[in-house]
Structure 1
Amino acid sequence: MTETGDKRQLLHLVFGGELSDLNDVQFRNLQDLDIVGIFPDYASALTAWKAKAQQTVDNAHMRYFIVHMHRLLDPSVVK
């Protein structure tokens, strides 16, 4: 599948949650994960990530991540 034109969809997932330990990526409660959304490119995922990170800046245990889903779906895609 492609977007309009020849530009490929490079899907990115933005999600976050509260970590149980600041030195590890272990979530305190998996049922409380915040799935922000799936975005068609890195730029829009980064914008969403920044917004959520800024909203939770007062909670040191809260972390948001960007997952390059397109790399999981097709490992030959390097972007």
Structure 2
Amino acid sequence: MSEAPAKQLLHLVIGGEMSALEGVEFKNLDEVDIVGVYPNYASAYAVWKQKAQMTVDNAEMRYFIVHMHKLLDPAQTS
């Protein structure tokens, strides 16, 4: 019996310096780090964690995981 392939749930990892410690507004959009798009949350989380740890000394630098699959298909429940 063949196993069905895992459903592709795209996630974007993005980061940059924030204009303030509270809130989510980038200081300079030209310097936003678009790390990449990943096929599932687990692989996006691994990259997010690595990037966040690399910038731990900069309190203004933050990285995010964007659930692109929810933006592309809002009716999707996963």
TM-score of the two chains, using structure 2 as the length reference: 0.92
- State the partner residue of 1:23: 22
Distance 2:75 2:6 in 1: 16
Equivalent residues, number:
76
**Structure 1: 5+ residue stretches without partners:** none
**Structure 2: 5+ residue stretches without partners:** none
- The percent of aligned pairs where both chains have the same amino acid is 62
Work out whether 1:35 is the aligned partner of 2:37.
Answer: no
Higher Cα Rg, which structure: 2
Distance 1:10 1:64 in 2: 19
User: Post-superposition, which runs of at least 4 consecutive aligned residues in structure 1 deviate over 6 A?
Assistant: none
Pairwise CA RMSD? 1.3
- State the partner residue of 2:10: 11
Secondary structure at the residue paired with 1:65?
strand
Letter in 2 for 1:62: M
TM-score of the two chains, using structure 1 as the length reference: 0.91
- State the partner residue of 2:45: 46
- State the partner residue of 1:57: 56
Secondary structure at the residue paired with 1:17?
strand
Letter in 2 for 1:15: I
